């Protein structure tokens, strides 16, 4: 499974995002995956959905675990500021990116750029950044929430 995940990440990074970035369209990640059944396993537990502790309205993909002592939350008049790090040896960075590209827009978050790493979402004056980093052993996901800068 690790070899498949690493190959998928390399393929999408090298080929998938380049072609879609040139066309200006969102990458259809699922179409590039030869093992769709393996990919679907990541999303099959919708009824057991967990949410980020710092953001109770942002779902947590199954398999991510919060890194201890990395979460901070500030609530101030200008808006919330929150940050937390999660990791997983069970899902890949591609799984995480796809999950949030599909899930967050359903919750009112708007993806700002196509494609971008990190992914930046906007909603009701707030900016949510989701940055994934893949290593051979695990994926680390950095969630960061801040007030949206007013222009």
Give the range of the structural domain holding residue 93, as residue numbers without chain letter: 2-147
Record the pTM: 0.66
pLDDT of residue 151: 62
Question: Considering its fold, how many domains does the chain have in total?
Answer: 1
Q: Report the alpha-carbon distance of residue 26 to residue 19 in Å, rounded.
A: 10
Q: Give the tens place of pLDDT for each residue, 21-32.
A: 333 433 444 444
pLDDT of residue 50: 83
Query: For every one of its 151 residues, what pLDDT tens digit does the chain have, with 9 covering 90 and above?
Result: 443 443 343 333 333 333 333 334 334 444 444 444 444 554 454 456 788 888 888 899 999 999 999 899 998 888 899 999 999 999 999 999 999 999 999 999 999 876 677 899 999 999 999 999 999 999 999 999 999 877 6
Task: Give one DSSP letter per residue of 92-133, joined into a string.
Answer: -HHHHHHHHHHHGGGGT-EE-SSS-SSEEEEETTEEEEEEEE
The CATH number of residue 90's host domain is 3.30.310
């Amino acid at each position: 499974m690790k070899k498949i995940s690493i190959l998928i990440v390399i393929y999408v990074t090298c080929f998938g995002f380049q072609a879609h970035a040139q066309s200006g369209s969102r990458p259809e990640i699922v179409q590039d995956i030869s093992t769709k059944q393996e990919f679907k396993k990541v999303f099959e537990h919708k009824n057991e959905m967990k949410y980020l502790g710092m953001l109770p309205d942002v779902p947590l993909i199954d398999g991510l675990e919060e890194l201890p002592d990395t979460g901070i939350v500030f609530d101030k008049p200008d808006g919330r500021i929150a940050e937390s790090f999660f990791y997983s040896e069970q899902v890949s960075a591609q799984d995480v990116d796809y999950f949030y590209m599909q899930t967050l827009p359903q919750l009112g978050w708007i993806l700002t750029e196509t494609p971008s790493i990190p992914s930046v979402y906007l909603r009701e004056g707030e900016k949510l950044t989701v940055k994934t980093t893949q290593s051979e052993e695990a994926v680390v996901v950095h969630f960061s929430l801040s007030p949206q800068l007013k222009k």
